[in-house]
Chain A
Amino acid sequence: MAIKTYLQAISDGLREEMRRDQRVFLIGEDIGVYGGAFKVTQGFQQEFGEDRVIDSPLSETAITGACTGAALMGMRPVCEMQFSDFVSCAFDQLVTVAAKQHYRVGTPVPIVVRLPSGGGFSGGPFHSQNPEGFFAHCPGLKIACPATPADAKGLILSAIRDPNPVLYFEHKHLYRRIKGEVPDGDTAVEFGKARVHQEGSDLSIITYGAMVYTAEEAAKAAAEQDGTSVEIIDLRTITPWDREAVLASVAKTSKVIVLHEDTHTSGFGAEIAATIAEEAFETLDAPVMRITAPDTPVPFSPPLEKAYLPQPGDVLAGIERLAAY
């Protein structure tokens, strides 16, 4: 067990899997010589060579499509979108080609797309998005959104071993800010199994990715303020997502906030809220509350971006409102 940053944990997971499995290779823009825009693959080209750590042209369609082709030939490709925002340029290769291939003709497409996502540092409308919602709507894809270093490593291992196309969202704001214990060795984390980030009894917050920490800060303030006990469920993966864990937490607390950094309308939170309404209506003591970014592009200037991103204060206000309901 060692303390690692979220970024180191991703890097370790990739490196260990590349050592273990010769079929794994990486392709993306500036990931080789430069080590990636965020240095996740620093030193990889020296260790694994230019054939397994490929600097590609600026071509998200070709990168993603090539991963599918290589996967069909028995490789285990992992590609990097330099920023998750650019995955829009690969939408067709994911949604039209990779996601549907197995359903149509029975050939698995084991690829991983790494997606540095999220805001918090004035990246503006094109370097800050959380586009997981588009893909959560597409049958055939899997989606991971780790929040902790241990999960960052465990889920990248599982993603590479999964026989399906996996979108692995790594939150940029967590890269170097979040440190945590990462168990040594082969510690794959199963998809579709949520994690109780903290136990509580008065209210549940269902979230994932960087918002786990926003929820944590708000919950701490609530506890200090009046002893409100908040349970935080970290979904870890949103396709598949752990309905049982969510419903169990709601059954326990009867009040729930669904929190994410993606925009509001048709965000993944809507799916969670609808499921709770369908499955757990009788156990609720208050309406399900969604706290999300508003329905706007991600703005650039700090005061605007701060207003855009759900803040601990926003979540605390939500907790107070629900607690008083």
Chain B
Amino acid sequence: MAVAREATPVESAEDVKQADLDSEDLLQIYRNMLITRGIEERGHILYRQGKIPGSFYTGRGNEGASVGVATAMQAMDVGTPIQRDMGVHVTRGTEPWRIFAQYMGRSDGLAAGKDGNVHMADIRLGLIAMVSHLPALMPVAVGAALAFQIRREPRVAVAWSGDGAMARGDAHEAMNLAGVRKLPVVFIVDNNQYAYSTPNRLEFACDHLADRAAAYGFEGVVVDGCDVLTVYREAHAAIEKARAGGGPTLLELVTLRMEGHAVHDDAFYVPREMLEHWKEKDPIERHRRWLKESGVLGEAVDDEITVEVKKLLNEAMKRAEESPLPDAADLDTGVYADPEELDTPHHR
């Protein structure tokens, strides 16, 4: 029995107005989605060239979900994005060249070579770096929200999880504590229907993961994650509700993981027809179409944006490749923090 609300799609210009977006915002969303996909496509190239040690993960198909949520966050808000959420890093302003440097284990990567792939975040942009153990950052986001509540700050934390990771206890403890204390936190589930090779039906027995919200005393909403504008509208509503003291919301953003779990995985277990079906729903194509139909994006501007993104990313790749590999002497630096580090803005 489904209990969560199913979000109606954003269709008309009126809907968009309600979502509080002007044409510049709409184009910025488009640009950010292109940058997001462009980074990951170039990641594949670097990987094939043998320049990325370890594994390589992408969020293809999740660009609308990640960019939509991040666009709805204010600069003062914070978040804990996961492995499919490159769009969050991009939207919050992480420089692409540092992401390429991160992929390649260079010293200008966000983890300076101490950690790899999407295990990164710039705290100055309000993002907290994920760990492999999923969804261990959900309770951490809840703690950020607790800090905001204690200090009566109008800030919101956004916690991400995958559909598979929602089976772990961290998710339950985080949502329960947030519900009990009515914390300013929004929970996002990137439901791309697979956890590695495991489909939704072997992960959970309720109709929707968003149904669980009711058990924690807050609202759950199922959203088409391929529709960036609907994602934005629902995330915006949930974030502002949390900011106003209305407590948490759980948004389940449904997409399909359009590539393997990581680069080594050809996802043979995902039915071909399913992939074809979801390819039609591609979030970038969909937004582009909508922009054109709504007269926000003309051919010339589209070309201009595409060229600009390409240039940005090509230069970023070049700059990243110039970044040195870390010095082996740095192996044992940074295990412990020094007291003066607590004086950085995020720790005052």
Q: A residues engaging B (CB < 8 A)?
A: 25, 27, 51-52, 54, 56-57, 59, 61-75, 77, 92-93, 96-97, 100-110, 139-140, 142, 161-164
Contact = CB atoms under 8 A, between A and B. Distances in A.
19 contacts: A54-B181, A61-B139, A61-B170, A62-B139, A62-B170, A65-B170, A66-B177, A68-B140, A75-B147, A92-B133, A93-B136, A97-B140, A102-B337, A104-B115, A105-B111, A106-B112, A107-B128, A107-B129, A163-B342
Nearest to B180: A57
Contacts of B170: 61-62, 65, 92
A69 B348 contact: no
B306 interface: no
Contacts of A139: 335
Contacts of A63: 177
A96 B338 contact: no
A108 B335 contact: no
Contact of A104 (B119, B140, B181): B119
B139 A105 contact: no
Given A69-B128, A74-B346, A104-B129, A62 B115 contact: no
Nearest to A142: B336
Contact of B145 (A69, A96, A108, A162): A69
B149 interface: yes
Nearest to A22: B151
A52 B150 contact: yes
A163 B341 contact: yes
Q: Which among B78, B147, B180 has the highest number of chain A CB atoms within 10 Å? A: B147
A96 B347 CA distance: 21
Nearest to A75: B147
Given A59-B176, A161-B339, A163-B341, A73 B144 contact: yes
A105 B129 contact: yes
B335 A140 contact: yes
Contact of B140 (A52, A56, A72): A72
B20 interface: no
A96 to B, nearest CB: 5
Contacts of A106: 112, 334, 341
Contact of B148 (A61, A73, A101, A105): A73
A107 B143 contact: no
Nearest to B124: A107
Q: Which among A51, A56, A67, A108 has the highest number of chain B CB atoms within 10 Å? A: A108
Contact of B142 (A51, A65, A77, A109): A65
A65 B174 contact: yes
Given A65-B138, A73-B147, A74-B348, A59 B177 contact: yes
A97 to B, nearest CB: 5
Interface in B97-141: 110-112, 114-115, 119-121, 123, 128-129, 131-133, 136-141
Given A97-B137, A104-B114, A106-B341, 4 more contacts: A59-B177, A64-B139, A72-B346, A73-B148
Interface string B254-285: 00000000000000000000000000000000
A72 B128 contact: yes
A103 B147 contact: no
Nearest to A107: B123
B149 to A, nearest CB: 7
B143 A65 contact: yes
Given A65-B140, A73-B346, A100-B131, A51 B334 contact: no
Given A107-B346, A108-B342, A69 B140 contact: yes
B146 interface: yes
Interface in B49-82: 78
B267 to A, nearest CB: 27
B347 A108 contact: yes
Contact of A108 (B169, B180, B337): B337
B258 to A, nearest CB: 28
Nearest to B109: A105
B150 A93 contact: no
A215 to B, nearest CB: 30
A74 B347 contact: yes
Nearest to A102: B337
B334 A103 contact: yes
Contacts of A102: 334-337
A72 B46 CA distance: 33
B330 to A, nearest CB: 10
A70 B180 contact: no
Contact of A69 (B121, B129, B132, B142): B142
B136 A69 contact: no
A70 B144 contact: yes
Given A61-B173, A72-B140, A105 B147 contact: no
B313 interface: no
B186 interface: no
B337 A66 contact: no
Given A69-B147, A92-B133, A97-B137, A62 B176 contact: yes
B165 to A, nearest CB: 13
B157 interface: yes
A142 B339 CA distance: 14
Contacts of A72: 123, 128, 140, 143-144, 346-347
